[in-house]
Amino acid sequence: MSIKYNADTKTFILQTDNSSYLMKISRYKNLLHLYYGRRIKDEDLDYLIRLQDRGFSPNPNEAGNDRTFSLDFLQQEFSTSGKGDYRSPGIELVNSDGSRIFSGKVSSYKIYKGKYCVKGMPSLRAVSKDKVDTLEIHLKDKVTGVEVILGYSVFEEKDIITRTARLVNNGKAPVRLERLMSATVDYRDSDYDLIYFSGRHMMERGFNRVAVENGIHSIGSTRGTSSHQYNPFAIICGKNTDEDRGDCYGYSLVYSGNFIFEAEKDQYGQLRVNMGINPAGFSFVIDEEEEFQAPELVLAFSDKGLTGLSHIYHDAFRENLCRSPYSKKQRPVLINSWEAAYFDFDEERILNIAKSSVDMGVELFVLDDGWFGKRDSDDCSLGDWTVNREKLPDGISGLSEKIHAMGLEFGLWIEPEMVSENSELFRAHPEWCLRAPGRPVTRGRAQLVLDLSREDVCEYLIETINSIVEDARIEYVKWDMNRSISDVWSGLFDKENQGETLHRYVLGLYHIMDEVILKHPEIIFCGCSGGGGRYDPAMLYYQPQIWCSDNTDAINRLKIQYGTSFAYPVNTMESHVSVCPNHQTGRTVPLNTRGIVAMDGILGYELDATKLNDEEKEECRKQVEFFKKHYSLISEGDYYRLTDPYSDRYVCAWQHVSKDKKKALVSLVITDKEGNDCQRYLKLKGLRSDTMYKVSGIKGKYSGALLMSAGIPVSCELREYESQSIVLKAVREK
């Protein structure tokens, strides 16, 4: 098995193909962290634990007169609370006597084959070929009877360790949980950098790399969703770690609500990392014999640099996370009506756009916002999911039939989690909204948020959405969510339980998706929250692709898609070619470049096809043809970032390499141009050194070693914002 317990050293050893994770039970039954990194043998690591008398570091009662043992400086697997460890804790709770102490000691453990279960939340699953083992360690507070059960599942061949924590109240009185991290990882040193991904609406997942300094560096969300501002993914890496070499540790939280990631460098130069549900505004009353489970955290280690870490996550998320059968199928190339028509359309206009897109090679037409209620703007009718017969006299089913008659599939936009005050739903059920009594509401995009912590709201939405997707022939649904959550108060709870609302909202959302998305595997569900405001692993569990950003500007997308690629596979990024001048930035970029950038994801179009001339339609048709020809390479191959758009102002380039390394696709965009410009070269990656390749546009054949060491020249004929795709094929030697 990949997990074993050494009774002589009281050590747990977790092994993947290329990493090891070790922890041990101390003499006082504390669970101490020993090691996480490159794979090592099962050795006695006790020598790493250095005990000494440190001033102002208190000693637990069971240590007696031993002043050298203190939780204030020892590396722990899951911290206590209120017992002398002053670093950021893994748990905070209020006991029935008002104390805020949790002193968890190892009481038992269990090792078994297969994956642990996360109740009510998405998580990775084992597929048939996986070797997965699980360890559960019980930490019990003998005074209160409260237990925290730490779960570890080891995906041996994937180099993944998943973690969760579950609090069980085996005491005789309720406790109030105010913080429960999915995992804590303590490092002996702190000579690391922290990489995280920040942004805003229309500029998501920007790359940040900072040195770990004294104190706590914290990122997270309090917006009710994982957010545009910070992504629930972070990397701890060595100072010299780059794309191709060096140690790095990935932290990816499978959760769509408020989260926190903390990197704390303590007084002794050690590093503690915590990740889990954001404790801000969070509290949960756990009654006797009840429990609370933290969402799953996906840990990965690579000694092959940031690219190696990305490959671990890409493979695991493609194979072990997404439940949609479309994660392994070729997705149709779509055209969406939003930037073409916004709210201003009728059936004739929609049919004309769809008909014109056929010549472009498009396979799926998506009707976006504006088809229901009195929805001529974004300030009314959300929640009234009945067809606007003035716009669509034959309804959605009639429109779908006409679209299918053109040879296209049909898709539809919905935003089920929201409601307009000017709607029949709000007038019938004002109590279904998140809003505090006696206070004026806070609006976002003229919307209020439905209270998904309520079972009646969830069941209404399940019935409503299922009726929409079952009453017409629909192959695709864009599921949107267009505001951050505020005014958090639910009429369902009393004042002691209001802190549960946002987490219960997320659980309600997952329940709805279980009953809608998982019950309709024949439909592609695309995630969206104003673009990339809820781009997280939990959404990928349900939705094989997510609208990467509302920003369709190809040059801005280079940075957005670059940051996204560190954790998320290319075949999860929905990316569209839009009109120029671009609606968000006003920039004009060649159609070829817009296509090449959009093909670094799931290709689609976001424009009015009736306004394209024959030459432009033909160029789009060739883009679709090229994308479909290389779909498996783009979607399933290994991804390499050849340049960094934050440091290289001249060229942005990336590469897809097939798993057998027989094919590769290099894409590049000129992002700046100078007169009498320098000759630049791209050093390729991921090829076989001893294999000869033909390179499109270059005569002859060249070894992978040469192409990776000397590179290929970037054409000086390319102008600013122009681009190029280069295909490599292995040559069979005679």
DSSP character string of 340-401:
HHTT---HHHHHHHHHHHHTTT--EEEE-S-SBTT-SSTTS-TT--SB-TTT-TTHHHHHHH
- Check whether domain 640-731 has CATH 2.60.40.1180, yes or no: yes
- The answer to whether the beta carbons of residues 310 and 686 sit under 8 Å apart is no
Residue whose structure tokens are 């009877």: 145
The distance of Cα 284 from the centroid of its chain, to the nearest Å, equals 25
Ranges 45-49, 296-300, 451-455, 503-507: which has the least confidence: 45-49
The 8 Å CB, 24+ separation contacts for 381-384 are: 381/420, 381/422, 381/423, 382/415, 382/418, 382/419, 382/420, 382/423, 382/425, 382/447, 383/418, 383/419, 383/420, 383/423, 383/424, 383/425, 383/426, 383/450, 384/423, 384/424, 384/425
For the segment 500-529, the average pLDDT, to the nearest whole number, is: 98
The CA distance from 552 to 575, in Å, is: 8
Residues labelled as active-site residues = 480, 550
pLDDT tens per residue across span 99-152: 999 999 999 999 999 999 999 999 999 998 899 999 999 999 999 999 999 999
The distance of Cα 113 from the centroid of its chain, to the nearest Å, equals 27
For the segment 577-583, the average pLDDT, to the nearest whole number, is: 97
- Pick the more confident residue, 65 or 185: 185
Domain range summary for the chain, segments of one domain joined by +: 3-321, 325-636, 640-731
- Percentage of residues in the chain with pLDDT exceeding 70? 100
The distance of Cα 377 from the centroid of its chain, to the nearest Å, equals 31
pLDDT at 142: 96
In the chain, the amino acid numbered 7 is A
Q: Is the pLDDT of residue 438 over 70?
A: yes
Q: Angle 296-285-31 (CA atoms, 0-180°, nearest 5)?
A: 50
pLDDT tens per residue across span 54-101: 999 999 999 998 999 999 999 999 998 999 999 999 999 999 999 999
pLDDT at 734: 46
Partners of residue 162 on adjacent β-strands: 153, 298
- The answer to whether the beta carbons of residues 529 and 229 sit under 8 Å apart is no
pLDDT tens per residue across span 262-311: 999 999 999 999 999 999 999 999 999 999 999 999 999 999 999 999 99
Using CB atoms within 10 A of its CB, is residue 363 exposed (0-12), middle (13-18) or buried (19+)?
A: buried
pLDDT tens per residue across span 152-182: 999 999 999 999 999 999 999 999 999 999 9
For the segment 720-730, the average pLDDT, to the nearest whole number, is: 98
Handedness of CA 715, 719, 720, 725 (dihedral sign): negative
The distance of Cα 63 from the centroid of its chain, to the nearest Å, equals 43
- Measured CA distances, 287 to 71, 276, 386, 495, 677 (Å): 29, 22, 42, 16, 70
Give the chain's mean pLDDT.
97
- The answer to whether the beta carbons of residues 208 and 254 sit under 8 Å apart is no
Which alpha helices (H) appear in 530-683, and where do they start and end?
Answer: 537-542, 554-564, 591-598, 614-629, 631-636
Looking at domain 3-321, its CATH architecture is Distorted Sandwich (2.70)
pLDDT at 469: 97
- Measured CA distances, 55 to 72, 119, 188 (Å): 10, 44, 19
For the segment 508-536, the average pLDDT, to the nearest whole number, is: 98
The H-or-E segment that residue 139 falls in is: strand 132-140
pTM: 0.97
Neighbours of 602 (CB within 10 A): 30
Residue whose structure tokens are 């791209």: 682
Sheet holding 663-670, edge to edge: 638-641, 651-657, 663-670, 723-731, 692-695, 698-703
Handedness of CA 501, 503, 504, 510 (dihedral sign): positive
SS (H, E, C) 629-648: HCHHHHHHCEEEECCCCCCC
Using CB atoms within 10 A of its CB, is residue 15 exposed (0-12), middle (13-18) or buried (19+)?
A: buried
pLDDT at 136: 98
The CA distance from 553 to 581, in Å, is: 9
Q: Please, what's the largest Cα pairwise distance for the chain?
A: 87
The distance of Cα 279 from the centroid of its chain, to the nearest Å, equals 20
- Which tokens sit at 413? 């936009």
The CA distance from 303 to 17, in Å, is: 12
The CA distance from 26 to 136, in Å, is: 17
Q: Angle 121-546-590 (CA atoms, 0-180°, nearest 5)?
A: 165
The CA distance from 362 to 121, in Å, is: 35
pLDDT at 128: 85
pLDDT at 456: 98
Q: Angle 420-424-426 (CA atoms, 0-180°, nearest 5)?
A: 50
pLDDT-derived band of residue 42, with 50, 70 and 90 as boundaries?
Answer: confident
pLDDT at 733: 61
Using CB atoms within 10 A of its CB, is residue 490 exposed (0-12), middle (13-18) or buried (19+)?
A: buried
For the segment 450-467, the average pLDDT, to the nearest whole number, is: 98
The CA distance from 515 to 145, in Å, is: 36
Dihedrals φ, ψ of 574, to 5°? -80, 125
Q: Angle 137-142-143 (CA atoms, 0-180°, nearest 5)?
A: 145
pLDDT at 129: 87
pLDDT tens per residue across span 644-674: 999 999 999 999 999 999 999 999 999 999 9
The CA distance from 129 to 113, in Å, is: 13
Topology at the third CATH level for domain 325-636:
TIM Barrel (3.20.20)
- Measured CA distances, 319 to 85, 323, 328 (Å): 39, 9, 8
First vs last C-alpha separation in the chain: 44
In the chain, the amino acid numbered 590 is P
For the segment 214-218, the average pLDDT, to the nearest whole number, is: 98
